[in-house]
Structure 1
Amino acid sequence: MQAEVSLSEVPEDAAVAPMRARLGAFPYRTVATRMGIVGYRCAGTRVDGGMPVVMLHGIGSGAASWLAQFEATGWAAELYAWDAPGYGQTSNVADAEPHADVYADALEAWLDALGLESVALVGHSLGAIMATKFASRAPQRVRGLFLCSPAAGYGKADPAVRLSKRASRLAMLDTLGPAGMARERSDNLVAANAANLPRAWVKWNMARVLPEGYRQATHLLANGDVASELARYVAANAGPVAVAVGAQDAVTPPALCQTIAEVAGVPLQILDGAGHASYIETPDVLNAALAAWLERIAAGGR
Protein backbone atom coordinates (compact mmCIF):
# COMPACT_ATOMS: atom_id res chain seq x y z
CA MET A 1 0.00 0.00 0.00
CA GLN A 2 1.25 3.49 -0.84
CA ALA A 3 1.81 6.09 1.85
CA GLU A 4 -0.32 9.22 1.86
CA VAL A 5 1.50 12.27 0.54
CA SER A 6 2.51 14.38 3.53
CA LEU A 7 0.76 17.72 3.73
CA SER A 8 4.13 19.41 4.12
CA GLU A 9 5.45 17.88 0.90
CA VAL A 10 2.86 19.52 -1.36
CA PRO A 11 3.78 22.96 -2.78
CA GLU A 12 1.14 25.58 -2.14
CA ASP A 13 0.58 29.28 -2.13
CA ALA A 14 -0.42 31.23 0.96
CA ALA A 15 -4.11 30.91 0.09
CA VAL A 16 -4.18 27.23 1.06
CA ALA A 17 -2.87 27.70 4.62
CA PRO A 18 -6.23 28.72 6.14
CA MET A 19 -7.95 25.86 4.35
CA ARG A 20 -5.50 23.40 5.82
CA ALA A 21 -6.03 24.90 9.25
CA ARG A 22 -9.79 24.39 8.89
CA LEU A 23 -9.22 20.84 7.69
CA GLY A 24 -7.51 20.09 11.01
CA ALA A 25 -10.92 20.04 12.66
CA PHE A 26 -11.68 16.83 10.77
CA PRO A 27 -8.72 14.51 11.43
CA TYR A 28 -7.67 11.92 8.90
CA ARG A 29 -8.56 8.39 9.99
CA THR A 30 -7.89 4.92 8.69
CA VAL A 31 -9.74 1.65 9.12
CA ALA A 32 -8.83 -1.88 8.13
CA THR A 33 -11.39 -3.60 5.90
CA ARG A 34 -11.51 -6.97 4.17
CA MET A 35 -10.31 -5.16 0.99
CA GLY A 36 -7.43 -3.31 2.67
CA ILE A 37 -6.99 0.03 4.41
CA VAL A 38 -9.34 2.96 3.80
CA GLY A 39 -8.43 6.54 4.72
CA TYR A 40 -11.27 8.94 5.38
CA ARG A 41 -12.54 12.00 7.20
CA CYS A 42 -15.87 12.47 8.94
CA ALA A 43 -17.95 15.18 10.56
CA GLY A 44 -21.20 15.67 12.43
CA THR A 45 -23.14 13.58 14.89
CA ARG A 46 -25.78 11.04 14.07
CA VAL A 47 -28.99 11.99 15.84
CA ASP A 48 -32.46 10.50 16.03
CA GLY A 49 -33.96 10.69 12.57
CA GLY A 50 -30.61 11.46 10.96
CA MET A 51 -28.52 9.31 8.72
CA PRO A 52 -24.95 8.72 7.60
CA VAL A 53 -24.08 10.53 4.37
CA VAL A 54 -21.18 9.08 2.38
CA MET A 55 -19.38 11.30 -0.14
CA LEU A 56 -17.22 9.98 -3.00
CA HIS A 57 -14.77 12.34 -4.70
CA GLY A 58 -13.66 12.65 -8.32
CA ILE A 59 -10.55 11.54 -10.18
CA GLY A 60 -8.33 14.52 -9.36
CA SER A 61 -9.48 15.00 -5.81
CA GLY A 62 -9.70 13.42 -2.36
CA ALA A 63 -11.54 13.39 0.94
CA ALA A 64 -10.26 16.88 1.81
CA SER A 65 -12.21 18.37 -1.09
CA TRP A 66 -15.42 18.05 0.97
CA LEU A 67 -14.21 20.49 3.64
CA ALA A 68 -17.07 22.96 3.12
CA GLN A 69 -19.59 20.13 3.48
CA PHE A 70 -17.92 18.99 6.72
CA GLU A 71 -18.40 22.52 8.02
CA ALA A 72 -22.08 22.77 7.05
CA THR A 73 -24.51 23.17 9.92
CA GLY A 74 -28.10 22.18 10.45
CA TRP A 75 -27.89 18.72 8.89
CA ALA A 76 -29.24 15.84 10.99
CA ALA A 77 -26.51 13.64 9.59
CA GLU A 78 -23.03 12.28 10.04
CA LEU A 79 -20.78 12.83 7.03
CA TYR A 80 -18.13 10.44 5.76
CA ALA A 81 -15.74 11.14 2.89
CA TRP A 82 -13.22 8.53 1.82
CA ASP A 83 -10.02 8.64 -0.12
CA ALA A 84 -10.95 6.26 -2.93
CA PRO A 85 -8.81 3.18 -3.59
CA GLY A 86 -5.33 4.32 -4.62
CA TYR A 87 -5.73 7.76 -3.04
CA GLY A 88 -4.31 9.00 0.26
CA GLN A 89 -3.68 6.03 2.55
CA THR A 90 -6.32 3.85 0.92
CA SER A 91 -5.16 0.55 -0.57
CA ASN A 92 -5.16 0.17 -4.33
CA VAL A 93 -7.58 -2.26 -5.92
CA ALA A 94 -6.00 -5.47 -7.16
CA ASP A 95 -6.91 -5.10 -10.84
CA ALA A 96 -4.55 -3.12 -13.04
CA GLU A 97 -7.43 -2.11 -15.35
CA PRO A 98 -10.40 -2.16 -12.99
CA HIS A 99 -14.12 -1.94 -13.60
CA ALA A 100 -16.60 -0.34 -11.21
CA ASP A 101 -17.37 -3.60 -9.42
CA VAL A 102 -14.06 -3.63 -7.56
CA TYR A 103 -14.60 -0.08 -6.32
CA ALA A 104 -18.10 -1.03 -5.21
CA ASP A 105 -16.55 -3.98 -3.38
CA ALA A 106 -14.14 -1.61 -1.61
CA LEU A 107 -17.00 0.75 -0.72
CA GLU A 108 -19.07 -2.11 0.67
CA ALA A 109 -16.13 -3.33 2.74
CA TRP A 110 -15.56 0.17 4.16
CA LEU A 111 -19.21 0.64 5.07
CA ASP A 112 -19.22 -2.78 6.74
CA ALA A 113 -16.08 -1.92 8.71
CA LEU A 114 -17.75 1.28 9.95
CA GLY A 115 -20.99 -0.51 10.76
CA LEU A 116 -23.00 1.57 8.29
CA GLU A 117 -25.82 -0.60 7.03
CA SER A 118 -27.83 2.08 5.23
CA VAL A 119 -26.51 5.39 3.87
CA ALA A 120 -27.31 8.38 1.69
CA LEU A 121 -24.72 8.37 -1.09
CA VAL A 122 -23.17 11.37 -2.85
CA GLY A 123 -20.94 10.91 -5.90
CA HIS A 124 -19.02 13.73 -7.56
CA SER A 125 -17.68 13.24 -11.10
CA LEU A 126 -15.83 9.89 -11.12
CA GLY A 127 -17.39 9.20 -7.73
CA ALA A 128 -20.73 8.92 -9.51
CA ILE A 129 -19.49 5.79 -11.28
CA MET A 130 -18.66 4.19 -7.95
CA ALA A 131 -21.86 5.42 -6.32
CA THR A 132 -24.22 4.18 -9.02
CA LYS A 133 -22.53 0.79 -9.27
CA PHE A 134 -22.87 0.24 -5.51
CA ALA A 135 -26.45 1.55 -5.52
CA SER A 136 -27.48 -0.74 -8.36
CA ARG A 137 -26.01 -3.76 -6.61
CA ALA A 138 -27.30 -3.00 -3.12
CA PRO A 139 -30.27 -0.62 -3.42
CA GLN A 140 -31.50 -1.64 0.02
CA ARG A 141 -28.39 -0.02 1.51
CA VAL A 142 -28.71 3.31 -0.35
CA ARG A 143 -31.45 5.55 1.03
CA GLY A 144 -30.88 8.15 -1.66
CA LEU A 145 -28.42 9.07 -4.40
CA PHE A 146 -27.04 12.54 -5.21
CA LEU A 147 -24.94 12.81 -8.37
CA CYS A 148 -22.97 16.03 -8.73
CA SER A 149 -21.38 16.72 -12.12
CA PRO A 150 -21.48 12.97 -12.82
CA ALA A 151 -18.88 11.49 -15.15
CA ALA A 152 -20.97 9.21 -17.36
CA GLY A 153 -18.08 6.85 -18.14
CA TYR A 154 -17.18 5.41 -21.53
CA GLY A 155 -18.28 1.84 -20.95
CA LYS A 156 -20.86 1.99 -23.75
CA ALA A 157 -18.78 4.16 -26.10
CA ASP A 158 -17.13 2.98 -29.29
CA PRO A 159 -13.96 1.04 -28.39
CA ALA A 160 -11.82 3.54 -30.29
CA VAL A 161 -13.28 6.39 -28.22
CA ARG A 162 -12.68 4.51 -24.98
CA LEU A 163 -9.09 3.83 -25.95
CA SER A 164 -8.49 7.44 -26.96
CA LYS A 165 -9.93 8.91 -23.76
CA ARG A 166 -7.97 6.52 -21.60
CA ALA A 167 -4.72 7.00 -23.51
CA SER A 168 -4.90 10.79 -23.35
CA ARG A 169 -5.30 10.81 -19.56
CA LEU A 170 -2.53 8.28 -19.04
CA ALA A 171 -0.21 10.24 -21.32
CA MET A 172 -0.95 13.41 -19.34
CA LEU A 173 -0.14 11.59 -16.09
CA ASP A 174 3.10 10.18 -17.49
CA THR A 175 4.18 13.51 -18.94
CA LEU A 176 3.19 15.88 -16.15
CA GLY A 177 2.86 13.83 -12.98
CA PRO A 178 0.41 14.92 -10.24
CA ALA A 179 2.09 18.27 -9.54
CA GLY A 180 2.24 19.10 -13.23
CA MET A 181 -1.39 18.12 -13.77
CA ALA A 182 -2.39 20.35 -10.88
CA ARG A 183 -0.38 23.22 -12.32
CA GLU A 184 -1.60 22.81 -15.90
CA ARG A 185 -5.10 21.36 -15.53
CA SER A 186 -6.67 22.37 -12.21
CA ASP A 187 -8.12 25.61 -13.61
CA ASN A 188 -10.28 23.50 -15.94
CA LEU A 189 -12.25 22.36 -12.89
CA VAL A 190 -13.42 25.82 -11.86
CA ALA A 191 -15.48 28.55 -13.47
CA ALA A 192 -13.68 31.23 -15.45
CA ASN A 193 -14.35 33.84 -12.77
CA ALA A 194 -13.60 31.59 -9.78
CA ALA A 195 -11.87 33.26 -6.85
CA ASN A 196 -8.26 32.54 -5.92
CA LEU A 197 -9.11 30.50 -2.81
CA PRO A 198 -11.17 27.77 -4.52
CA ARG A 199 -8.66 27.68 -7.37
CA ALA A 200 -5.85 27.09 -4.88
CA TRP A 201 -7.77 24.40 -2.98
CA VAL A 202 -8.64 22.51 -6.16
CA LYS A 203 -4.99 22.69 -7.24
CA TRP A 204 -3.71 21.53 -3.84
CA ASN A 205 -6.02 18.52 -3.80
CA MET A 206 -5.09 17.54 -7.35
CA ALA A 207 -1.36 17.75 -6.58
CA ARG A 208 -1.81 15.09 -3.90
CA VAL A 209 -3.13 12.31 -6.13
CA LEU A 210 -0.92 9.23 -6.39
CA PRO A 211 0.11 8.04 -9.86
CA GLU A 212 -0.94 4.39 -9.53
CA GLY A 213 -4.30 5.25 -8.01
CA TYR A 214 -4.94 7.82 -10.73
CA ARG A 215 -3.92 5.30 -13.37
CA GLN A 216 -6.42 2.75 -12.06
CA ALA A 217 -9.12 5.43 -11.82
CA THR A 218 -8.50 6.28 -15.48
CA HIS A 219 -9.37 2.70 -16.39
CA LEU A 220 -12.46 2.93 -14.19
CA LEU A 221 -13.56 6.01 -16.14
CA ALA A 222 -13.03 4.21 -19.44
CA ASN A 223 -15.01 1.19 -18.25
CA GLY A 224 -17.82 2.96 -16.34
CA ASP A 225 -21.48 3.30 -17.32
CA VAL A 226 -23.42 5.56 -14.96
CA ALA A 227 -26.64 5.62 -16.99
CA SER A 228 -27.12 1.85 -16.92
CA GLU A 229 -26.32 1.51 -13.22
CA LEU A 230 -28.53 4.47 -12.33
CA ALA A 231 -31.43 2.97 -14.28
CA ARG A 232 -31.17 -0.20 -12.18
CA TYR A 233 -31.24 1.77 -8.94
CA VAL A 234 -34.23 3.83 -10.09
CA ALA A 235 -36.06 0.63 -11.10
CA ALA A 236 -35.54 -0.70 -7.57
CA ASN A 237 -37.53 2.30 -6.27
CA ALA A 238 -35.07 2.56 -3.40
CA GLY A 239 -34.77 6.27 -2.63
CA PRO A 240 -34.71 9.87 -3.90
CA VAL A 241 -32.25 10.75 -6.65
CA ALA A 242 -30.90 14.22 -7.40
CA VAL A 243 -28.59 15.30 -10.23
CA ALA A 244 -26.77 18.64 -10.18
CA VAL A 245 -24.09 20.38 -12.26
CA GLY A 246 -22.27 23.69 -12.24
CA ALA A 247 -23.62 26.16 -14.78
CA GLN A 248 -20.07 26.67 -16.09
CA ASP A 249 -18.89 23.07 -15.84
CA ALA A 250 -16.57 22.43 -18.79
CA VAL A 251 -15.70 18.85 -17.77
CA THR A 252 -19.20 17.36 -17.47
CA PRO A 253 -21.28 20.17 -18.99
CA PRO A 254 -24.99 20.59 -18.29
CA ALA A 255 -26.01 19.10 -21.64
CA LEU A 256 -24.32 15.80 -20.75
CA CYS A 257 -25.63 15.79 -17.18
CA GLN A 258 -29.14 16.38 -18.52
CA THR A 259 -29.02 12.88 -19.99
CA ILE A 260 -28.24 11.43 -16.56
CA ALA A 261 -31.06 13.42 -14.97
CA GLU A 262 -33.48 12.06 -17.58
CA VAL A 263 -32.50 8.50 -16.69
CA ALA A 264 -33.36 9.29 -13.07
CA GLY A 265 -36.59 11.04 -14.08
CA VAL A 266 -35.65 14.20 -12.15
CA PRO A 267 -34.97 17.80 -13.18
CA LEU A 268 -31.32 18.72 -13.59
CA GLN A 269 -30.30 21.21 -10.90
CA ILE A 270 -28.05 23.97 -12.24
CA LEU A 271 -25.63 25.38 -9.66
CA ASP A 272 -25.09 29.02 -10.55
CA GLY A 273 -21.55 30.33 -10.47
CA ALA A 274 -19.90 26.92 -10.39
CA GLY A 275 -17.69 24.99 -12.74
CA HIS A 276 -16.90 21.33 -12.16
CA ALA A 277 -15.72 21.63 -8.55
CA SER A 278 -18.96 23.03 -7.13
CA TYR A 279 -18.34 21.55 -3.68
CA ILE A 280 -15.36 23.90 -3.43
CA GLU A 281 -16.42 26.83 -5.63
CA THR A 282 -20.02 27.41 -4.51
CA PRO A 283 -20.42 25.31 -1.36
CA ASP A 284 -23.42 27.23 -0.06
CA VAL A 285 -25.33 26.56 -3.28
CA LEU A 286 -24.42 22.87 -3.31
CA ASN A 287 -25.07 22.49 0.40
CA ALA A 288 -28.57 23.90 -0.03
CA ALA A 289 -29.24 21.32 -2.76
CA LEU A 290 -27.86 18.54 -0.55
CA ALA A 291 -30.00 19.70 2.39
CA ALA A 292 -33.16 19.65 0.24
CA TRP A 293 -32.31 16.14 -0.97
CA LEU A 294 -31.73 14.94 2.58
CA GLU A 295 -35.12 16.35 3.56
CA ARG A 296 -36.73 14.31 0.77
CA ILE A 297 -35.05 11.18 2.10
CA ALA A 298 -36.13 11.90 5.68
CA ALA A 299 -39.69 12.45 4.49
CA GLY A 300 -39.69 9.18 2.57
CA GLY A 301 -40.15 11.02 -0.74
CA ARG A 302 -38.95 10.20 -4.24
Structure 2
Amino acid sequence: MENTRRLIEFMALLRDPAQGCPWDLKQDFASLLPYTIEEAYEVADAVEREDYDDLRDELGDLLLHVAFHSRIAEERGLFDFEQVAAAICSKLVRRHPHVFQGMVFENDEARIHHWEQSKELERSRKLEQSSDTAQKSALSGVANTLPALMFAQKLQTRAARQGFDWPGIDPVFEKVQEELREMREAFTVGSAAQIEEELGDLLFSVVNLARHLHVDAETALRAGSHKFSRRYQAMERLLQEKGKQMADCSFEEMDLCWEQAKRALSITA
Protein backbone atom coordinates (compact mmCIF):
# COMPACT_ATOMS: atom_id res chain seq x y z
CA MET A 1 0.00 0.00 0.00
CA GLU A 2 3.06 2.22 -0.17
CA ASN A 3 2.06 3.72 -3.52
CA THR A 4 -1.44 4.48 -2.27
CA ARG A 5 0.09 6.45 0.61
CA ARG A 6 2.40 8.26 -1.86
CA LEU A 7 -0.58 9.15 -4.07
CA ILE A 8 -2.39 10.73 -1.13
CA GLU A 9 0.76 12.63 -0.13
CA PHE A 10 1.35 13.82 -3.70
CA MET A 11 -2.24 15.06 -3.90
CA ALA A 12 -1.81 17.01 -0.68
CA LEU A 13 1.38 18.59 -2.06
CA LEU A 14 -0.31 19.53 -5.34
CA ARG A 15 -3.03 21.28 -3.33
CA ASP A 16 -0.60 23.00 -0.94
CA PRO A 17 -1.27 26.78 -1.12
CA ALA A 18 2.43 27.63 -0.78
CA GLN A 19 4.12 25.16 -3.14
CA GLY A 20 1.34 23.37 -4.99
CA CYS A 21 0.33 23.46 -8.66
CA PRO A 22 -1.71 26.56 -9.63
CA TRP A 23 -4.07 24.50 -11.82
CA ASP A 24 -4.72 21.89 -9.13
CA LEU A 25 -5.32 24.62 -6.56
CA LYS A 26 -8.05 26.18 -8.71
CA GLN A 27 -10.09 22.99 -8.99
CA ASP A 28 -13.22 22.06 -7.06
CA PHE A 29 -15.74 19.20 -7.29
CA ALA A 30 -17.65 20.78 -10.17
CA SER A 31 -14.64 21.81 -12.26
CA LEU A 32 -13.11 18.33 -11.96
CA LEU A 33 -16.28 16.50 -12.94
CA PRO A 34 -15.88 16.62 -16.76
CA TYR A 35 -12.34 15.26 -16.43
CA THR A 36 -13.46 12.52 -14.04
CA ILE A 37 -16.17 11.41 -16.47
CA GLU A 38 -13.69 11.51 -19.35
CA GLU A 39 -11.27 9.28 -17.43
CA ALA A 40 -14.05 6.74 -16.78
CA TYR A 41 -14.79 6.59 -20.50
CA GLU A 42 -11.09 6.15 -21.27
CA VAL A 43 -11.08 3.15 -18.93
CA ALA A 44 -14.02 1.74 -20.90
CA ASP A 45 -12.20 2.37 -24.18
CA ALA A 46 -9.11 0.50 -22.99
CA VAL A 47 -11.28 -2.46 -21.95
CA GLU A 48 -13.06 -2.53 -25.32
CA ARG A 49 -9.69 -2.45 -27.13
CA GLU A 50 -8.33 -5.14 -24.77
CA ASP A 51 -5.25 -2.96 -24.28
CA TYR A 52 -4.36 -3.95 -20.74
CA ASP A 53 -1.21 -1.85 -20.45
CA ASP A 54 -3.35 1.14 -21.33
CA LEU A 55 -6.05 -0.09 -18.94
CA ARG A 56 -3.53 -0.03 -16.07
CA ASP A 57 -2.60 3.55 -16.91
CA GLU A 58 -6.22 4.68 -17.34
CA LEU A 59 -7.22 3.11 -14.03
CA GLY A 60 -4.38 5.09 -12.47
CA ASP A 61 -5.77 8.28 -13.99
CA LEU A 62 -9.21 7.46 -12.61
CA LEU A 63 -7.74 6.68 -9.18
CA LEU A 64 -6.04 10.07 -9.26
CA HIS A 65 -9.47 11.67 -9.54
CA VAL A 66 -10.72 9.69 -6.54
CA ALA A 67 -7.75 11.00 -4.57
CA PHE A 68 -8.28 14.52 -5.96
CA HIS A 69 -11.97 14.69 -4.95
CA SER A 70 -11.13 13.14 -1.59
CA ARG A 71 -8.43 15.75 -0.96
CA ILE A 72 -10.81 18.62 -1.71
CA ALA A 73 -13.36 17.05 0.65
CA GLU A 74 -10.72 16.66 3.36
CA GLU A 75 -9.78 20.34 3.03
CA ARG A 76 -13.44 21.22 3.58
CA GLY A 77 -13.77 18.93 6.58
CA LEU A 78 -16.19 16.58 4.81
CA PHE A 79 -14.32 13.25 4.51
CA ASP A 80 -10.97 11.88 3.37
CA PHE A 81 -9.60 9.09 1.16
CA GLU A 82 -9.57 6.60 4.04
CA GLN A 83 -13.25 7.22 4.72
CA VAL A 84 -14.05 6.72 1.04
CA ALA A 85 -12.28 3.34 1.16
CA ALA A 86 -14.01 2.46 4.44
CA ALA A 87 -17.43 3.28 2.97
CA ILE A 88 -17.00 1.00 -0.03
CA CYS A 89 -15.63 -1.80 2.18
CA SER A 90 -18.71 -1.57 4.41
CA LYS A 91 -20.97 -1.62 1.36
CA LEU A 92 -19.23 -4.71 -0.03
CA VAL A 93 -19.76 -6.55 3.24
CA ARG A 94 -23.46 -5.57 3.36
CA ARG A 95 -24.09 -6.62 -0.21
CA HIS A 96 -22.11 -9.89 -0.09
CA PRO A 97 -23.28 -11.69 3.07
CA HIS A 98 -22.68 -15.01 1.28
CA VAL A 99 -18.96 -14.15 1.13
CA PHE A 100 -18.36 -12.28 4.38
CA GLN A 101 -21.10 -13.48 6.73
CA GLY A 102 -21.72 -17.12 5.82
CA MET A 103 -25.21 -16.58 4.38
CA VAL A 104 -26.31 -19.25 1.89
CA PHE A 105 -28.50 -18.46 -1.12
CA GLU A 106 -30.41 -21.21 -2.89
CA ASN A 107 -29.64 -19.84 -6.34
CA ASP A 108 -28.44 -16.81 -8.29
CA GLU A 109 -31.95 -15.36 -8.36
CA ALA A 110 -32.08 -15.28 -4.55
CA ARG A 111 -28.63 -13.72 -4.40
CA ILE A 112 -29.56 -11.00 -6.88
CA HIS A 113 -32.82 -10.37 -5.01
CA HIS A 114 -30.87 -9.81 -1.80
CA TRP A 115 -28.48 -7.47 -3.64
CA GLU A 116 -31.40 -5.37 -4.90
CA GLN A 117 -33.03 -5.36 -1.44
CA SER A 118 -29.77 -4.14 0.09
CA LYS A 119 -29.54 -1.31 -2.43
CA GLU A 120 -33.18 -0.38 -1.83
CA LEU A 121 -32.65 -0.34 1.93
CA GLU A 122 -29.63 1.93 1.54
CA ARG A 123 -31.66 4.31 -0.62
CA SER A 124 -34.53 4.29 1.86
CA ARG A 125 -32.21 5.22 4.70
CA LYS A 126 -30.79 8.10 2.66
CA LEU A 127 -34.29 9.33 1.86
CA GLU A 128 -35.30 9.22 5.54
CA GLN A 129 -32.29 11.37 6.40
CA SER A 130 -33.00 13.85 3.61
CA SER A 131 -35.02 17.02 4.25
CA ASP A 132 -35.58 17.56 0.52
CA THR A 133 -39.04 16.32 -0.41
CA ALA A 134 -37.95 16.04 -4.05
CA GLN A 135 -35.45 13.40 -2.92
CA LYS A 136 -38.15 11.17 -1.43
CA SER A 137 -39.13 9.67 -4.79
CA ALA A 138 -38.43 6.13 -5.94
CA LEU A 139 -36.51 7.75 -8.78
CA SER A 140 -34.26 9.82 -6.54
CA GLY A 141 -30.57 9.03 -6.59
CA VAL A 142 -30.37 8.36 -10.33
CA ALA A 143 -27.63 10.74 -11.42
CA ASN A 144 -28.76 13.35 -13.93
CA THR A 145 -25.27 13.41 -15.41
CA LEU A 146 -25.43 9.81 -16.65
CA PRO A 147 -25.37 9.28 -20.43
CA ALA A 148 -28.93 9.68 -21.69
CA LEU A 149 -29.54 6.02 -22.57
CA MET A 150 -28.21 4.82 -19.23
CA PHE A 151 -30.22 7.48 -17.41
CA ALA A 152 -33.42 6.40 -19.16
CA GLN A 153 -32.83 2.72 -18.46
CA LYS A 154 -32.12 3.29 -14.78
CA LEU A 155 -35.27 5.41 -14.39
CA GLN A 156 -37.34 2.68 -16.04
CA THR A 157 -35.79 -0.01 -13.84
CA ARG A 158 -36.57 1.96 -10.69
CA ALA A 159 -40.18 2.51 -11.79
CA ALA A 160 -40.55 -1.17 -12.70
CA ARG A 161 -39.49 -2.20 -9.18
CA GLN A 162 -42.50 -0.25 -7.93
CA GLY A 163 -44.80 -2.19 -10.29
CA PHE A 164 -45.00 0.53 -12.96
CA ASP A 165 -44.20 -1.61 -15.98
CA TRP A 166 -45.74 -3.35 -18.97
CA PRO A 167 -47.03 -6.88 -18.19
CA GLY A 168 -45.11 -8.38 -21.12
CA ILE A 169 -42.98 -7.53 -24.11
CA ASP A 170 -45.71 -7.34 -26.79
CA PRO A 171 -47.09 -4.00 -25.50
CA VAL A 172 -43.52 -2.66 -25.49
CA PHE A 173 -43.13 -3.41 -29.20
CA GLU A 174 -46.51 -1.78 -29.79
CA LYS A 175 -45.42 1.30 -27.83
CA VAL A 176 -42.31 1.66 -30.00
CA GLN A 177 -44.52 1.50 -33.11
CA GLU A 178 -46.91 4.07 -31.61
CA GLU A 179 -44.06 6.46 -30.84
CA LEU A 180 -42.65 5.97 -34.33
CA ARG A 181 -46.01 6.93 -35.86
CA GLU A 182 -46.17 10.02 -33.66
CA MET A 183 -42.63 10.88 -34.71
CA ARG A 184 -43.64 10.72 -38.37
CA GLU A 185 -46.71 12.89 -37.70
CA ALA A 186 -44.57 15.47 -35.91
CA PHE A 187 -42.15 15.50 -38.82
CA THR A 188 -45.03 16.05 -41.24
CA VAL A 189 -46.94 18.80 -39.47
CA GLY A 190 -45.10 19.68 -36.26
CA SER A 191 -42.66 22.31 -35.15
CA ALA A 192 -39.00 21.72 -34.33
CA ALA A 193 -39.92 21.53 -30.64
CA GLN A 194 -42.56 18.86 -31.33
CA ILE A 195 -40.11 16.85 -33.41
CA GLU A 196 -37.53 16.94 -30.60
CA GLU A 197 -40.13 15.93 -28.02
CA GLU A 198 -41.46 13.02 -30.08
CA LEU A 199 -37.96 11.85 -30.90
CA GLY A 200 -37.20 11.82 -27.18
CA ASP A 201 -40.33 9.72 -26.57
CA LEU A 202 -39.32 7.32 -29.35
CA LEU A 203 -35.82 6.88 -27.96
CA PHE A 204 -37.20 6.38 -24.45
CA SER A 205 -39.52 3.64 -25.72
CA VAL A 206 -36.63 1.92 -27.55
CA VAL A 207 -34.62 1.96 -24.32
CA ASN A 208 -37.62 0.37 -22.59
CA LEU A 209 -37.62 -2.34 -25.26
CA ALA A 210 -33.93 -2.94 -24.60
CA ARG A 211 -34.65 -3.30 -20.88
CA HIS A 212 -37.38 -5.87 -21.52
CA LEU A 213 -35.02 -7.77 -23.80
CA HIS A 214 -32.38 -7.72 -21.00
CA VAL A 215 -30.03 -5.69 -23.19
CA ASP A 216 -28.03 -2.71 -21.97
CA ALA A 217 -29.07 0.12 -24.31
CA GLU A 218 -25.81 2.04 -23.89
CA THR A 219 -23.71 -1.01 -24.72
CA ALA A 220 -25.92 -1.94 -27.67
CA LEU A 221 -25.71 1.54 -29.22
CA ARG A 222 -21.96 1.69 -28.65
CA ALA A 223 -21.57 -1.68 -30.42
CA GLY A 224 -23.78 -0.47 -33.26
CA SER A 225 -21.72 2.71 -33.60
CA HIS A 226 -18.47 0.71 -33.71
CA LYS A 227 -19.99 -1.54 -36.38
CA PHE A 228 -20.93 1.52 -38.44
CA SER A 229 -17.39 2.88 -38.05
CA ARG A 230 -15.82 -0.39 -39.24
CA ARG A 231 -18.12 -0.59 -42.26
CA TYR A 232 -17.63 3.07 -43.17
CA GLN A 233 -13.86 2.76 -43.04
CA ALA A 234 -14.03 -0.43 -45.12
CA MET A 235 -16.16 1.45 -47.66
CA GLU A 236 -13.57 4.25 -47.79
CA ARG A 237 -10.83 1.69 -48.49
CA LEU A 238 -12.86 0.11 -51.28
CA LEU A 239 -13.42 3.49 -52.90
CA GLN A 240 -9.72 4.36 -52.60
CA GLU A 241 -8.86 1.08 -54.36
CA LYS A 242 -11.10 2.25 -57.20
CA GLY A 243 -9.37 5.62 -57.22
CA LYS A 244 -12.44 7.45 -55.98
CA GLN A 245 -13.33 9.79 -53.13
CA MET A 246 -16.64 9.95 -51.28
CA ALA A 247 -17.33 13.42 -52.69
CA ASP A 248 -17.03 12.05 -56.24
CA CYS A 249 -19.63 9.30 -55.79
CA SER A 250 -23.38 9.30 -56.24
CA PHE A 251 -25.58 7.93 -53.49
CA GLU A 252 -26.14 4.77 -55.53
CA GLU A 253 -22.37 4.20 -55.86
CA MET A 254 -21.84 4.73 -52.13
CA ASP A 255 -24.73 2.40 -51.28
CA LEU A 256 -23.31 -0.32 -53.53
CA CYS A 257 -19.88 0.09 -51.96
CA TRP A 258 -21.46 0.01 -48.49
CA GLU A 259 -23.06 -3.36 -49.23
CA GLN A 260 -19.72 -4.65 -50.52
CA ALA A 261 -18.04 -3.50 -47.31
CA LYS A 262 -20.68 -5.26 -45.20
CA ARG A 263 -20.16 -8.50 -47.09
CA ALA A 264 -16.38 -8.23 -46.86
CA LEU A 265 -16.49 -7.67 -43.10
CA SER A 266 -18.97 -10.52 -42.55
CA ILE A 267 -16.61 -12.88 -44.35
CA THR A 268 -13.56 -11.83 -42.29
CA ALA A 269 -15.48 -11.79 -38.95
Q: TM-score, with normalisation over the residues of structure 1?
A: 0.22
Q: Which structure shows the bigger proportion of residues in strand conformation?
A: 1
Q: Which structure shows the bigger proportion of residues in helix conformation?
A: 2
Bigger Rg over Cα: 2
